[in-house]
Structure 1
Amino acid sequence: MKKTILAALLPAMLVAGTAQAASVYQAEDGSNVDVFGRLGFNAHNRTSGDNADGDMRGSFDNRLGFGGSQTINDQMSVIGWAEYQIGAAEGSNAGNDSFTARYVWAGVDMGNMGKVTGGRVASGLIMATDIADVFASSDVNLASQASVINSNATQVFRQDDTIQYQNSIAGFDMSAAYIIGNDRLKNGYNLALRYTLDMGNAGKLAPVVGFQSNTAEDGTREIINGSAVGSELDKNDFWVVGTRYYFNDLMLGAVYSEDKVSYRGNVEDTKDKGYELTAVYDFQNDWVVRGGYRDYKKTSGSTTDSKMKDWTAEVQYKLTDRSSIFTSYILRDGEDNSKASNAKYDLNQDYYNVGLRYEF
C-alpha cells in the first residue's frame, strides 16, 4: 500500500491542518515549530450569481499555517496551530480576498491519554466528512445548515469556542467536543467514533459515526441577506454514518447524513438528507484518478426546497510530492425551488475546473 493511501488511514483528527507541515525548528527536548503553506490557482466555468453566463473565471487558493509543540515532560506537550486562507469559506468572511482564520487553537497533548484542544479546532467530525471531501474542485455538502444557528461555523469542520478531546485506542479513533456558544448559539456538542479493521490481504475497513447538536439562544431567528427573518430557531441536529475501504492503491467511500433545523412553535423542520459515494485510485506514483456521486435533498415539511445530484470525475498529476496539476468535470442535475435568487451556485449547470497547486 502506497504512502498516500496509508496517510489516509491516519486519524483525521490528529493530522487535520498539519499533515503537510514542515518543521523549521527542532529542540533537543522534542519541542518544534512547524510551517505550512499552499499556493494554488483554479480556472473554471462554474455558474454563480456573478457569472450567470458560465464564462471562464479564475480564483486563488492560498493558505498559510504555523504552530508546533513545546515539551512539558516525556508524556505531555503544549500544542497549537493557526492557519489562514485567502477566500476561505468561514462564516461572514466567506470569499473575502483577505486572510481569514481557518484553524486557531491551543491545547495539551497527553500522549496515550489523548489530546485536549480549545479554539477554532479541527473537528473530530472530519473523520466522517472527509469520506466525501476527496476532490480538489468541488464543495462539500454535509452539514450545510450548521451556520443557521452557529454563525461562525463552516459546516461542522471548524467552529469557534470549541473545547475538544481526542484519542486513539486499539483501532478506535474518538472525539468529543463542547461548543461554548456565542450571540446566537446557546451551546452545542459533537461526538465522533471510527474503528479501523485490518482484514489482512482483503484490505482495511474504517466505519465511522458522528453526531452534533446545537441549541439556539431564545429569540434567535435565521439571518438572510443581513436581516433576521422567519420563525424562532430551536436546534440544529446533524448525524452521519459512513465508511472507507482500502485495498492496495484503491480507496472507496460511502457516507449518509441528515441535517435538521427545528423551530419553536408549530413550524415544520427544515431537513437536508443524502448520501455520497467516492472512489480514489493512486497509480504509477504520479497519477491519481477520482470519481464520485452525491444525492441530496432539502425539504421543509413535505415540500422539496432543493435537490442536488452530481457526478464528479477528476484526474491529478503529481509534478512533485507536494505539487500537482488537476482537472475535473462535474455533471449536475438539481434544482433550487425556494431561494433561486439567493443560490450561490446553479444546481443544474455542469462545470469544469483546471488547477495548479503548490505546497510547502
Structure 2
Amino acid sequence: MRKIILKTVLASIIASGTAHAAVIYKEENGSNVELYGRFGFNVSDKKTGSTQGDFDGRLGFIGRQVVNDQVAIIGLAQYQVNAAEYANNVEGNNDSLTARYVWAGFDFAQYGKITGGRVSSGLIMFTDIGDVFASSDVATGRQARFVDPTAVQVFRQDGTIQYQNNIGNLDVSTAYIIGNGTSDLDYGYNAATRYTFDMGTAGKLVPVIAFQKTRAAQNLGNRTNGADTFTYGGVGTRYYLGPLMLGLLYSSDTVSYSNGRADSKDKDLEFTAVYNVSNDWVLRTGYRYLDNTDGDELTLRDTTFEVQYKLTPRSSIYSAYILRNGKNGTNVDTGRQVSFGGSSAEDSFYHLGLRYEF
C-alpha cells in the first residue's frame, strides 16, 4: 500500500542540512522516498560592500528500498540554486540548480553503510564543529580544490566510495576517492572517527579526528596548475551541557606541487559557542583564525555574532555580524586578489536571513 505521510527524518538526513522531510512514496515493507529542502532569502553587504538580496533554495530526495531484514538500497540527491559546485565554475552559470550531493549505496543495518558518488562525507563529523552559522562559510580544508576541482568543500568530492558505521558511542567513516572525468584525480582517501563520552550531569564530550589525502593525475590537460598532493588532518571536539554547546577544532593541510613551487600550507583554528536561550531564541558566536604560508598568503581573523529567532519549528530569522580583521591573499598563477566566501577577508559584513525548511 502506498500513501503520503509526514514524519521526522533520521539523523543521517540531518547531516545533509535539513531537520524535516515528507514521505512522498511508501510501501508496507518500509521502502520509501522522502522529499526535503529549504527556501530562504538573505540580505547582506557581504559580496559587494553594498546591500543586496539573494534567494537561497535547496531541494533533495532520499530513498530507501528494502531487500531483506538486513539489507536495503539507499540513495540521496540534493540540489541547490547558486551552489558553489564545480559545474557552475565550468559553465559560468550561477543560477542553475546544481548537485551538492548525489549518491547511492547499501545499508547493512548494524554492519554499516557503503555509499558511492558525491557522498555525505564522514569528514562532516569534524567540519560541523565550526559550521554552525547561517551566515558564514567553511574554511577548514579549503585547499582540497587545488588538487581535486570537484571538491568545493573537503567533505564534497565526486567519485567517492565510503563506508560508515556506528558502534555504541563510536562513529567511524573511511572512504576511497576514485574521481571522475572532471576531477583530474589519481586517487584519494580519508577517514574520520568520533566518540561520545557521556559524563552524566557534567555533560557530554565528543572528540573527533579527521584525515584526508588526495593526489592529482598529472596528465595532458590537467587543470590543477601543478598541484600534486593535498594532505589534510584535524582534531576537535564538541562539549554539551544543557542548552550550551562549545566547539573547538584545529586543522592543517598542505598542497605540494610537481612544478617546483613551494608547498602551500593552511593552519586553521576555530572556536564556536551555541546557547539555546529558549525554544524560540538561539545565540551563536565564534572565532576563526586561518593563516596560509607559501601559497596565496590568505589570513582570516573572523569573529561572528549571530542570533536566531524561530518563527515556527521549521522557519527562522537569522541576524548576524561578522567582524573581519584578516588579509586578502594573492593567486600565485593569476596575480588576482584572493578573498574568502565571496567577500574580502579584511571587510566586516552583516547578514539578515529568512529560512524555511521542510
TM-score (normalizing by structure 1)? 0.89
Q: 1:341 is matched with which residue: 337, 340, 351?
A: 337
RMSD: 2.1
Measured after TM superposition, the shift of residue 27 of structure 1 is 1.8
> Would you say 1:131 and 2:125 are equivalent positions?
no
Measured after TM superposition, the shift of residue 220 of structure 1 is 7.3
> Would you say 1:85 and 2:95 are equivalent positions?
no
Measured after TM superposition, the shift of residue 354 of structure 1 is 0.3
Which segment is superposed worse, 138-147 or 11-20? 11-20
Tell me how far apart the structure 2 counterparts of residues 128 and 67 of structure 1 sit (CA, whole Å).
23
Judge conservation of contact 1:149–1:222 (CA < 8 Å) in 2. Answer: no
Q: 1:318 is matched with which residue: 285, 295, 310?
A: 310
Tell me how far apart the structure 1 counterparts of residues 101 and 51 of structure 2 sit (CA, whole Å).
31
1:59/1:357 CA distance change after superposition, 3 Å: same
Counting only pairs closer than 5 Å after superposition, residues 136-215 of structure 1 correspond to structure 2 as 136-183=134-181, 184-215=184-215
Judge conservation of contact 2:329–2:338 (CA < 8 Å) in 1. Answer: no
Structure 2 letter corresponding to 1:319: L
Structure 1 stretches lacking a partner, 5+ long = 1-6
> Would you say 1:332 and 2:324 are equivalent positions?
yes
Judge conservation of contact 1:11–1:127 (CA < 8 Å) in 2. Answer: no
| Equivalent residues, number | 339
Runs of 4+ in structure 1 deviating by more than 6 angstroms, as ranges, are: 10-14
Q: Provide the identity percentage.
A: 53
1:312/1:322 CA distance change after superposition, 3 Å: same
1:357/1:81 CA distance change after superposition, 3 Å: same
Measured after TM superposition, the shift of residue 221 of structure 1 is 8.7
> Would you say 1:59 and 2:54 are equivalent positions?
yes
Structure 1 letter corresponding to 2:123: L
Which segment is superposed worse, 314-323 or 176-185? 176-185
Tell me how far apart the structure 2 counterparts of residues 245 and 337 of structure 1 sit (CA, whole Å).
34
- Provide Cα deviations, 1:170-197, integer angstroms capped at 9, x if missing partner: 2110000011123511010100000011
Partner of 2:120: 122
1:173/1:14 CA distance change after superposition, 3 Å: farther
SS at match of 1:132: coil
Tell me how far apart the structure 2 counterparts of residues 214 and 266 of structure 1 sit (CA, whole Å).
19
- Provide Cα deviations, 1:217-270, integer angstroms capped at 9, x if missing partner: 1247985xxxx74xx322001111100000011100000001210012643100
Structure 2 stretches lacking a partner, 5+ long = 1-7
Measured after TM superposition, the shift of residue 337 of structure 1 is 4.0
Judge conservation of contact 2:328–2:337 (CA < 8 Å) in 1. Answer: no
Tell me how far apart the structure 1 counterparts of residues 242 and 29 of structure 2 sit (CA, whole Å).
37
TM-score (normalizing by structure 2)? 0.90
SS at match of 1:112: helix
Partner of 2:5: none
1:328/1:109 CA distance change after superposition, 3 Å: same
Tell me how far apart the structure 1 counterparts of residues 269 and 338 of structure 2 sit (CA, whole Å).
24
Tell me how far apart the structure 2 counterparts of residues 65 and 242 of structure 1 sit (CA, whole Å).
29
Structure 1 letter corresponding to 2:29: D
SS at match of 1:62: strand
Structure 1 letter corresponding to 2:194: R
Q: 2:283 is matched with which residue: 280, 289, 293?
A: 289
Tell me how far apart the structure 1 counterparts of residues 174 and 237 of structure 2 sit (CA, whole Å).
19
